[in-house]
Amino acid sequence: MNEKFVETDTLPNDANAARQSWMKILACSDPVNVESAWNSALGLNEVPCEIIRKPERGLVMVRGRAGSAGGQFNLGEMTVTRCAVRLAEGETGVSYIAGRNLEHALIAAKADALLQSETHHDKAFAALIEPLQKQIDDREAERASKVAATRVNFFTMVRTREDKK
């Protein structure tokens, strides 16, 4: 059948969960941070790889579901950049990044391939994912503290008998 839209409501299995978590970190990081982490990951950024899909920009239709239970509707279009590469060892890395940053998509695809390869995984995880995760955590913590500083509490006064007169 020609299923154009694929349901992805099911939870990922364990093999995909690890990959999803590092792809999330690569996708949610600031492009500047991704580029600086990649440029400082010496030895990793020189691993030769074949580009099977050059970074390219396009639009995807984001679909929503009211209350995650109603019928699907088109929420709106967003710009994405995607890329696919393959290492000499055979691992294929794929990336979809929100926005128009070609370099970000290329680095994310290469990092995905390196993280899947047994020989490079540990090094790539330490050089790329851990610092980026820390930067995301710091960013979230900073935002949370800024939000917390503006918190307003509402108190309800209990009326006494005198008030009722």
Partner 1 sequence: MTQTLDLSQVTPGFDDPVLDAQSCFRKVLDAISYPGRIYALDVPPAPAPLNPASAGLALTLMDFDTPIYLSPALQTDSIVSWLRFHCSAPITTVPKEAAFAFLQEGDVWPSIDEFHPGDAKYPDTSTSLVIQLSSLETGPAITLNGPGIETQETIHPNSMPENFWNARAENVADFQLGVDCYLTAGNQVIGLPRTTRTMPA
The footprint of partner 1 (CB under 8 A) covers: 2-4, 6-8, 10, 50-54, 56, 84, 86, 90, 92, 94
- Residues 69 and 81: their CA atoms lie apart, in Å, by 29
Give the side-chain half-sphere CA count within 13 A for 150: 4
Query: Minimum CB separation from partner 1 for residue 86, in Å?
Result: 7
Report the residue number, 107 or 109, with the smaller CB distance to partner 1: 109
Query: Minimum CB separation from partner 1 for residue 72, in Å?
Result: 15
Tokens at 164, concatenated: 């009722």
Report the residue number, 15 or 148, with the smaller CB distance to partner 1: 15
**Residue 11 per-residue DSSP state:** P
Query: Minimum CB separation from partner 1 for residue 57, in Å?
Result: 11
Q: Which residues have a Cβ under 8 Å from the Cβ of 100 and sit 6 or more positions away?
A: 57, 79, 81
Report the residue number, 92 or 133, with the smaller CB distance to partner 1: 92
Tokens at 135, concatenated: 């930067």
Query: Minimum CB separation from partner 1 for residue 25, in Å?
Result: 21
